[in-house]
Amino acid sequence: MKKLYFLVSLTLFLTSCNPKNNVKEITKTREPNSFAIVLHGGAGGIKKEYFTEQQQEAYKLKLEEALNAGYAVLEKGGISLDAVQAAINVMEDSPLFNAGKGAVYNSEGNQEMDAAIMDGKTLNAGAIAGVNHIKNPILAARIVMDSSSHVLLSGKGAEILAAKYGIEMVDSSYFFTEKRMNQLKELQGKEKIKLDHTAFLIKNELIDDHKFGTVGAVAIDKSGNIAAGTSTGGMTNKKYGRIGDVPIIGAGTYANNLTCGISATGTGEYFIRTVAAHEVSSLIKHKGFSPSEALHEVLFNQIGPLGGEGGMILLDKNGEVYWDFNSTGMFRGYKKSTGETTIEMFEKTE
């Protein structure tokens, strides 16, 4: 009997010491009719010294505008899908980000854009990949979700469906920005350098900008439903036809009311290989990880060792906001119905 009592006591002690079973984040509950939205504008070589004060202010104002657009939908009782879409639309219309208007060029000198959106209540999702003429790719992803029996459409097929449902189409000249063209030329110029060890180090030191700019948002509405969406131009100088993690449901975009909603940004190949967004959700659901632990595990113990870089934003079923990144910075912000608002761009310690 004493032996049995000892074993039970020991089990209870070890369980109480396990941080995954003793985290306040898991025990929080959502307040009735509360809502929130969190977004990102990309992660990568984002250091304060790279941006003038005017540029920092421009990014801050645009992130704030996007937050307010999504928040307004939620405040009026709108659904999380519409809030995510509204926030991403703002960033897609800005040349500051690598999505829509500011999409980067591929190796052929064209834009190929991807986007995805997912409903955490139904697990319904829609995504498009490799499109050239859709002004706001996130709207086309929503059409795929709502008006087709498919999840992912690419290229011409995606554009035909978008046009059929009245999504605005534009000439490729709409996406031209001098900044993005210069990035392509600079990167292609560096690729002509003989790849000895020194040149390789210089190359990787200076081209961080081709990795960031993807935009994404996650929202929870008054009914407690979560939605996540992401939109991107991919990577500068990517090979023709390359598709990243954004439109791969479970890699760069995922939402499930039972756990959380996630939008990712970074070197997409590594997020695909680790099925990053779904992996975070699974760690929370099946392993008892807190959102913070799950994000850290995937970014630093799974993606990082493979050579991947980036970040993720997360909004859990209780309306709590989390984010993490293994890059030098990530454009990010959130706004809650409590009035709490935050916009950050650089190191986590700011």
Task: State both tokens at 96.
Answer: 């500051």
Alpha helices in the chain (DSSP H): 2-17, 24-27, 53-75, 80-92, 137-147, 155-164, 178-191, 197-206, 268-273, 276-287, 291-296, 304-306
Check the annotation: does 265 bind a ligand: yes
Check the annotation: does 243 bind a ligand: yes
Task: State both tokens at 273.
Answer: 């290989």
DSSP states along 151-178: SEEEHHHHHHHHHHTT--B--GGGG--H
Distance in angstroms (rounded) separating the CA atoms of residues 107 and 188: 8
Marked catalytic residue, from 15, 122, 177, 214: 214
DSSP states along 70-112: HHHHHHTT--HHHHHHHHHHHHHTSTTSSSGGGPPP-TTS---
Distance in angstroms (rounded) separating the CA atoms of residues 62 and 252: 22
Residue 328 near residue 347 (C-beta atoms within 8 A): yes
Q: Is 214 a catalytic residue?
A: yes
Task: State both tokens at 341.
Answer: 């608002």
Check the annotation: does 268 bind a ligand: yes
Going from the C-alpha of 92 to that of each of 78, 114, 140, 180, 280, the distances in angstroms are 21, 12, 13, 15, 26
Check the annotation: does 250 bind a ligand: no
Check the annotation: does 230 bind a ligand: no
DSSP three-state, residue 46: coil
Distance in angstroms (rounded) separating the CA atoms of residues 2 and 209: 64
Q: Which positions make up the binding site?
A: 242-245, 265-268
Residues annotated as catalytic (active site), given as ranges:
214
Binding annotation for substrate: 242-245, 265-268
